Amino acid sequence: MSDWAPLKRFTSARIGLPRAGASVGTPELLSFQLAHARARDAVLHAWDLEACSRELDAAGIPHCSVRSRVDDRATYLRRPDLGRQLDDASLAELRSLRPTPPPDVAIVLCDGLSATAAQAHGVRTLRALLDGVSRRKLQAAPVVLVRNGRVALSDVIGEALGARAAVIVIGERPGLSAADSLGLYLTFGPKRGNSDAQRNCISNVRAPGGLPPPEAAEQLCALLGRALEQGVSGVALKAQTLPALSG
C-alpha cells in the first residue's frame, strides 16, 4: 500500500485498494456503491430548469427555454437521435428571436447525461462564458436552456439563431470518479449535418476536482476567438494552432 500512497494524492481513480482476503475492503466497496448510485442519479434525475431560469433572471441574463423531441429520460437514453432535434414550436420560436445583425455566438445550457452537473455548475459556467464574450467585444444571442438534448442540438439552435458559432454547455456521462462534470463544445458555422470532427471540446469542467468553470470558460473563449478569425473549428482549428513539425 505504501508504494501507491504517493500516486493516490494525484488522482481520484481507484488505485492501491486494500483487500480483505480475495475481496476489496468494506470501506472501498461501500465507496464504490455510493459512486455508482450518484452516477445513476445524475443520469436519471430531472434537471430543475426553472431554478436555473430564475438564477439567470436574477443575474439579468437574457434567455429562453426550448424543447427537444424527447419527452422523458427513458426515451432520451434509448433515442439519441431525438435529442439532436428541436420540436417544431421551439424551432419557430428561435427563428423569431434571431437577432439583427447575426450574433457571433449562440450559447446553450443542457442537462445532457448529468443533470447533477448542469444544476451544480451550469449558471456559473454561463456567467463566466458571457463575461469572456463581452470582454472580447463579441455579441451573444440570448442563452438557450433545453432539457434532454445532445451535443449536436447546438447546431440546430445556432443555425436557427443565425449565429456564426455555437457553444453548448452540457452534462457529461458520469463516471465512478465524478458524476458532476460538464463538457463545453464549440462549433463554427453551426448547421444540421455537422460532424463531431468540427467541434472543439473542453471536458471535466467542475469544481473542486476538475477544471474550474472560470478557467474552462476562458479557454473556450480563446478558442472561440480563433474560430471566428480563422473560420474553422474542430480538428481544422487544432491543426492551425499546432506548431509546425520539423523535417
pLDDT tens digit sequence for 174-196: 887 788 999 999 999 999 999 99
Amino acid present at 191: K
What is the helix, strand, coil percentage profile of the chain, to 5?
45, 20, 40
Residue 26: band (very low, low, confident or very high) from pLDDT cuts 50, 70, 90: confident
Q: Are 204 and 172 in contact (CB under 8 A)?
A: yes
pLDDT tens digit sequence for 200-217: 999 999 988 899 999 999
In a domain? residue 22 = no
Boundaries of domain holding 98 = 49-241
Within 8 A by CB and 6+ apart from 28, the residues are 14, 17, 18
Q: Please state the separation of Cα 95 from the chain's center in Å.
A: 23
pTM confidence score: 0.88
In a domain? residue 71 = yes
Q: Are 193 and 211 in contact (CB under 8 A)?
A: no
Q: Report the pLDDT value the prediction gives residue 239, as an integer from 0 to 100.
A: 60
In a domain? residue 103 = yes
18-27, 57-66, 192-201, range with the lowest pLDDT: 18-27
- The one-character DSSP state at 189 is S
Q: Please state the separation of Cα 111 from the chain's center in Å.
A: 8
Length of the chain in terms of residues written: 247
Q: Report the pLDDT value the prediction gives residue 2, as an integer from 0 to 100.
A: 56
Neighbour-count burial of 182, counting CB atoms closer than 10 A to its CB (0-12 exposed, 13-18 middle, 19+ buried): buried
Across-strand partners of 147? 67
CATH number at 64 reads: 3.40.50.11240
In a domain? residue 236 = yes
Task: Say how far apart CA 45 and CA 220 lie, in whole Å.
Answer: 28
The total domain count for the chain is 1
Within 8 A by CB and 6+ apart from 240, the residues are 226, 230, 232
Q: Report the pLDDT value the prediction gives residue 246, as an integer from 0 to 100.
A: 41
In a domain? residue 37 = no
In a domain? residue 31 = no
- 237 versus 39: the higher-pLDDT residue is 237
In a domain? residue 232 = yes
Within 8 A by CB and 6+ apart from 70, the residues are 76, 79, 82, 83, 147, 148, 149
In a domain? residue 212 = yes
Residue with the three cell numbers 440546430: 156
